[in-house]
Structure 1
Amino acid sequence: MNFQRVKSYFKKNRTMKRIVFVMIALLIGIGVATAQNAKKAVISSDNVEHDFGTIKEADGSVTHTFVIKNTGDAPLVITRVVASCGCTTPQFSKEPIAPGQTSKIDVTYNPAGRPGQFVKTIAVYSNGKDGTFTLRIKGVVE
């Protein structure tokens, strides 16, 4: 294609320039709107923190079950769950959570050799809107 001829055509025909500009702007706008309306998983929980209160070291490990809900409109997939220390062990299902459905994350804390107050965080990584969701456990070991 002859570049000079195209250039000359657009100089002569300003209406065509405007039409091309409007078409490009519309395509960009449609692309942005489509991206914003894409289905997304959203992770939530009614309770993101659990207080074990005072526990006895001699009684051994304690466990709390967090209920996680997918409040989005796409399946939620939890890819990994990481505790802030080796004394805390999370267990979870890798099965996708359908929109409106729930799943459980069991968090076990081992108080052996850890007297005093504790606060531990559990990072939940998923395909959810924010990517990371944080849970917390706390208590006092006697």
Structure 2
Amino acid sequence: MSNNTKQNNLTSIIAGSILVVGIAALVIIGVKNSGSSSNSDYSAGIISVIENEFDFGEISMSNGVVKHNFVLKNEGEESLKIGKIYTSCMCTTAFLTDSSGETTGPFGMSGHGVLKYANVGVSPGKEITIEANFDPAAHGPSGVGLAERSVYFETNSSKSPKGELKFKATVTN
């Protein structure tokens, strides 16, 4: 066998090995990510939202970030888990505070940076709070006028797997 043939065989083996390792890594990453938000263990817990819409009214860019707390309660007979939390725009972030007072976040717009999972349990009868933070100056001078945004959450509840918390504001200079 010539040196050229040996070198081609070695190159093929190395390239094939790199390809196999790369595919294996992608499969492992995919399994880990799907496990983060898996609803394979559905719960009979039912998340209810005390108030799912809020109007800040007129707010000025110069006054900075405004915040509102949305209260959610598990009305079911089983514990449930809040998985993903994400927002409709980069000008909005969210924080989750569980029933013991521990805060998780910030959570932001899906597709921009790392999507965080809350993975917070909510026992029957317990309440949690999702705080929506809106930065009216995030869009600059062109951001004046009506702004409508949302915070989304996903649970492992078979009866209430997804929810949306909406707010609006009229942004002024």
The alignment's TM-score, normalised by the length of structure 1, stands at: 0.70
Count the aligned residue pairs: 105
Query: What is the CA-CA distance between 1:76 and the residue it aligns to?
Result: 1.9
Match of 2:90 in 1: 86
Matched, 1:122 2:151: yes
Match of 1:68 in 2: 72
Match of 1:98 in 2: 123
Identity over aligned residues, as a percent?
32
Query: What is the CA-CA distance between 1:92 and the residue it aligns to?
Result: 1.1
Match of 1:107 in 2: 132
CA contact (8 A) 1:85 1:120 kept: yes
Query: What is the CA-CA distance between 1:81 and the residue it aligns to?
Result: 1.0
Query: What is the CA-CA distance between 1:130 and the residue it aligns to?
Result: 2.7
Q: State the AA in 1 paired with 2:94.
A: P
Give the Cα separation in 2 of the matches to 1:39 and 1:136.
25
Q: Deviations over 1:35-79 (max 9, x none)?
A: xxx960111112000100000110001000111100011112111
CA contact (8 A) 1:39 1:73 kept: no
Q: Which stretches in structure 2 are left out of the alignment for 5+ residues?
A: 1-41, 98-117
CA contact (8 A) 1:60 1:110 kept: yes
Give the Cα separation in 2 of the matches to 1:39 and 1:50.
28
Which residue of 103, 112, 131 corresponds with 2:161? 131
Rg larger for: 1
Match of 1:57 in 2: 61
Give the Cα separation in 2 of the matches to 1:104 and 1:47.
11
Which residue of 41, 49, 60 corresponds with 2:45? 41
Q: State the AA in 2 paired with 1:104.
A: T
Where in structure 1 do 4 or more consecutive aligned residues deviate above 6 Å? none
The alignment's TM-score, normalised by the length of structure 2, stands at: 0.58
Q: Deviations over 1:79-124 (max 9, x none)?
A: 1111111001011144311101101101100000221101111111
RMSD: 1.5
